[in-house]
């Protein structure tokens, strides 16, 4: 199996659970508080490693109490953290997350050391990064750095998967150098200006992005499933029915799981199935890295299902074969 390098954020998540979201100016009594390792980049590296991929993380932490906890969490998941640098004089990234009884969340991130992942920092690390077979990116490090990595990876013939979260505008030139874009319906709408509300509108928006030069577009739709579009496949994967505890890191679990599956030689239908099942399991548990399942668990979950993926190249919202 090849090497996945995840370049992105590492955050300590400060998680508060509450029966309902507070209104502006309202004080509520929460039920519990947790410190949980997170950050979209770090979560995706854990998801890829637990899916069985050889995974290396590149990013920055602060020289504070949170940094070593985040490194320990990645190491325990089997992620190589030799590309993570600890910086003096800056805090580790944090995310303050409020989760309500419906499993919905509200998140405020403070970039801290994640903001120091500059193009120069990447340039210094490029000799190691260029050994990768696949680079997995998100938008929680400076955007200019993400765009520099995409261009460099494209020039070096390294496959790039981008999860553009949080979403920012991207030029056609950058999009055309991305091999696979994995985004949710809100991000797809923001990126294209076209409303995504269901699998059919998602398919239209995905096809627009493919026309702009992205090879493969995956749009996740929460309880409405996910679609994948490229010149070979038009797939719809129905969502698995699960009891939602916390949706935090569901998208990260999907992205890391998809990347690992593709790198292991799986075709898009199987990779989409794995990613959907892994993210379904993740929402049944609290927290980010604490919720990400491993391959054995995901395969057992899939084996226990009656829903099958549509393996036909034709789009089919019934999800049947
Ligand atoms: O995608 C979930 C992640 O977003 C959390 O772990 C939090 O750190 C924020 O970055």
56 lines ligand 1 (CB under 6 A): no
Minimum CA distance residue for ligand 1 atom 1: 249
Is 246 close to ligand 1, i.e. is its CB under 6 Å away? no
The answer to whether the beta carbons of residues 293 and 285 sit under 8 Å apart is no
Average pLDDT, rounded, for the chain: 94
Sign of CA dihedral 191, 217, 57, 275: positive
pLDDT of residue 306: 74
Q: Please give the radius of gyration of the chain, using alpha carbons only, rounded to the nearest integer.
A: 18
State how far the Cα of 313 lies from the Cα of 232, in Å rounded to an integer: 7
25: how many CB neighbours lie within 10 A of its CB? Answer: 5
Query: Torsion angle of alpha carbons 219, 220, 225, 230, nearest 10°?
Result: 20
Taking a C-beta distance cutoff of 8 angstroms, is the pair 230, 262 a contact?
Answer: no
Of 76, 55, 79, 17, nearest to 285 (Cα)? 17
Cα 173 from Cα 128, distance rounded (Å):
26
How far is ligand 1, taken at its centre, from the CA of residue 316, in Å? Answer: 32
The string of DSSP letters for 262-278 reads HHTT--HHHHHHHHHHH
Q: What angle do CA 287, 34, 38 make, to 5 degrees?
A: 45
The reported pTM is 0.94
Q: Which residues participate in catalysis according to the annotation?
A: 252
Confidence of residue 2 (pLDDT cuts 50, 70, 90): very high
**Mean pLDDT computed over 158-168:** 97
The per-residue pLDDT for range 73-82, each reduced to its tens digit, is: 999 999 999 9
3-state SS of the chain: helix, strand, coil percent to 5? 35, 25, 40
With contact defined as beta carbons under 8 Å apart, do 218 and 209 qualify?
A: no
Q: Which helix (H) or strand (E) holds 236?
A: strand 234-237
312 compared with 102, residue with greater pLDDT = 102
Give the DSSP letter of residue 115: G
Residue 201: both structure tokens together = 């509108």
CATH ID of 3-8+40-83+114-303, from 3.40.1190.20, 1.10.3720.10, 3.40.50.300, 3.40.50.1860? 3.40.1190.20
Nearest atom, ligand 1, residue 9 CA? 10
Q: Measured from the CB, is residue 257 less than 6 Å from ligand 1? A: no
Inform me whether the pLDDT recorded for 307 exceeds 60: no
- Per-residue pLDDT at 320 exceeds 50: no
């Amino acid at each position: 199996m090849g090497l996945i390098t995840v370049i992105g954020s590492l955050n300590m998540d400060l998680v508060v659970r509450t029966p309902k979201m507070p209104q502006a100016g309202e004080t509520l009594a929460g039920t519990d508080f947790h410190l949980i390792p997170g950050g979209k980049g770090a979560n995706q590296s854990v998801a890829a490693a637990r899916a069985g991929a050889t995974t290396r993380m590149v990013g920055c932490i602060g020289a504070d109490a949170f940094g070593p906890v985040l490194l320990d969490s990645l190491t325990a998941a089997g992620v190589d953290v030799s590309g993570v640098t600890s910086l003096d004089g800056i805090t580790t990234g944090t995310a303050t997350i409020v989760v309500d009884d419906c499993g919905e969340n509200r998140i405020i991130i403070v970039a801290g050391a994640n903001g120091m992942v500059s193009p120069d920092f990447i340039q210094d690390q490029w000799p190691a990064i260029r050994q990768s077979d696949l680079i997995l990116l998100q938008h929680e490090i400076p955007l200019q750095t993400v765009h520099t990595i995409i261009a460099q990876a494209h020039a070096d013939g390294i496959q790039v998967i981008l999860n553009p979260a949080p979403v920012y505008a991207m030029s056609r030139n950058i999009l055309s150098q991305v091999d696979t874009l994995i985004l949710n319906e809100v991000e797809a709408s923001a990126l294209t200006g076209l409303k995504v509300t269901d699998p059919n509108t998602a398919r239209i928006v995905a096809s627009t992005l493919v026309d702009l030069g992205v090879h493969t577009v995956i749009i996740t739709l929460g309880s409405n499933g996910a679609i994948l579009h490229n010149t070979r496949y038009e797939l719809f994967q129905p969502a698995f029915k699960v009891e939602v505890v916390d949706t935090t890191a569901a998208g990260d679990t999907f992205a890391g799981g998809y990347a690992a599956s593709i790198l292991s030689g799986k075709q898009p239908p199987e990779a989409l199935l794995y990613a959907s099942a892994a993210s379904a399991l993740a929402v049944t548990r609290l927290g980010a890295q604490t919720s990400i399942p491993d391959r054995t668990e995901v395969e057992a979950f899939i084996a226990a299902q009656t829903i099958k993926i549509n393996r036909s190249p034709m789009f089919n919202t019934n999800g049947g074969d």
